[in-house]
Amino acid sequence: MALSDPDGILASPLTIINRQYDEADVEADVEAIINIVNQHEVGRIIVGLPRSMDGSLGKQAEKVKDFTGKLRSCVEVPVEFRDERLTTVSARRLMRETRVKRNRKKTRDDAIAAALILQGYLEETRR
């Protein structure tokens, strides 16, 4: 997950919620997101939608859409999708170019990717 500053200028990684896509964990995952929304007074949730390179929706995208539907029914803020193609690749490149020392866990890449997704949204909405 990532958050922006109050002015909606800069996105930063916040935390990682390791989803297992197990129905038993859906309530806990939604509750974790609700807590973050409330704690940080979030006004909008942007969800990365993992499209295939040809733009189609695969199994993972359908899982994300299902989860997002459950999340939408539990929050009062708007929830929007944003194409997340290549954001993890961009996150890895950015970290390599800035020589950020990190351990090579995928979860770290995902946190940076979340910030890139949000930053892209912020830049588009400022235009």
Say how far residue 16 (Cα) sits from the centre of its chain.
9
C-beta of residue 31 within 8 angstroms of C-beta of residue 37: no
Interval 72-104: pLDDT, tens: 999 999 999 998 876 655 556 665 655 555 554
Q: Is the pTM of this model over 0.85?
A: no
pLDDT tens digits, 24-60: 788 889 999 999 999 999 999 999 888 777 878 888 8
Share of the chain above pLDDT 90, in %: 39
Q: Which domains can be identified in the chain, with CATH numbers?
A: 2-126 (3.30.420.140)
Amino acid, res. 7: D
